[in-house]
Amino acid sequence: SAVISQKPSRDICQRGTSLTIQCQVDSQVTMMFWYRQQPGQSLTLIATANQGSEATYESGFVIDKFPISRPNLTFSTLTVSNMSPEDSSIYLCSVDGGQDFDEQYFGPGTRLTVT
């Protein structure tokens, strides 16, 4: 299984500002995923990030609001732009288990509060 770290672990931000969340994996992975979990709700996929190509966004999420970088096979960032209180969530990155495995492994998450 992959070991995934995220920074920051939590932050409190003012509306209108932006926050970049970093995700680091201890091994090279093809696909990385960014999820959001709003209070009391399940995980919602924001986008899939493949190295060397543009991220693929899910319905309801746009690049201007959630720009993603994937500069190499072990690292990705998600930026939450022009934040509003509705963006208060836990943001999680995850990776797939590799060629033979379908399970996903999750980072520790970033708890974001927007005031």
Partner 1 sequence: EDKVVQSPLSLVVHEGDTVTLNCSYEVTNFRSLLWYKQEKKAPTFLFMLTSSGIEKKSGRLSSILDKKELFSILNITATQTGDSAVYLCAVDATSGTYKYIFGTGTRLKVLA
User: Using the rule CB under 8 A, is 106 a contact of partner 1?
Assistant: yes
Q: Which of 13, 43, 75, 88 binds partner 1 (CB under 8 A)?
A: 43
The dihedral formed by the CA atoms of 70, 29, 52 and 32, expressed in degrees to the nearest 10: -50
Using CB under 8 A as the binding criterion, the count of chain residues that bind partner 1 stands at: 22
> Helix (H, G, I), strand (E, B), or coil: what is residue 53?
coil
Measured CA angle at 71 (ends 65, 73), to 5 deg: 115
Q: Which of 23, 78, 109, 112 binds partner 1 (CB under 8 A)?
A: 109
Tokens matching residue 92: 């999680």
User: Using the rule CB under 8 A, is 103 a contact of partner 1?
Assistant: yes
CB of 27 to partner 1, least distance (A): 16
